[in-house]
C-alpha cells in the first residue's frame, strides 16, 4: 500500500503566495504613506493601496487553498 506524503513548504502555491504577499505588503505600505498629489494624478484613486490589498487577499486565498486541499505525493515502499 503506498504511503502519502504532504509537500509542506515546498508546495508551489505557498511559494507563489509568499511572493505575491511580499509585493502586497510593500504596495499597501506605499499606498498608506502616499503623497496626496500622486493620488490626485490617478483621479483620486489610491492605486497602490487597492492593488496591495488585492494582492493580500489573493495571498490569503492561496494559503487557504493550500491548507484545505493539500497535495498528497505518493511514496512507494518497494524494497
Residue reference for cell 505525493: 73
What is the model's pTM? 0.80
Q: Which residue has the higher pLDDT, 79 or 40?
A: 40
59-68 pLDDT tens trace: 999 999 998 9
d(CA 9, CA 4): 16
Q: Where do the domains of the chain lie?
A: 12-71
How does residue 79 score in pLDDT terms, banded at 50, 70 and 90?
low
Question: Hey, what long-range contacts does 41-44 have (CB within 8 A, 24 or more apart)?
Answer: none
pLDDT, one tens digit per residue, over 11-56 is 899 999 999 999 999 999 999 999 999 899 989 999 999 999 999 9
Cα distance between residue 3 and residue 35, in whole Å: 56
Amino acid at each position: 500500500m503506498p504511503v502519502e506524503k504532504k509537500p509542506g513548504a515546498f508546495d508551489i502555491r505557498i511559494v507563489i503566495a509568499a511572493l505575491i504577499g511580499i509585493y502586497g505588503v510593500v504596495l499597501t505600505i506605499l499606498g498608506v504613506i502616499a503623497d496626496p498629489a500622486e493620488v490626485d494624478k490617478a483621479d483620486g484613486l489610491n492605486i497602490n493601496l487597492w492593488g496591495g490589498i488585492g494582492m493580500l487577499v489573493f495571498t490569503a486565498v492561496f494559503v487557504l487553498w493550500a491548507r484545505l486541499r493539500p497535495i498528497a505525493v505518493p511514496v512507494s515502499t518497494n524494497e
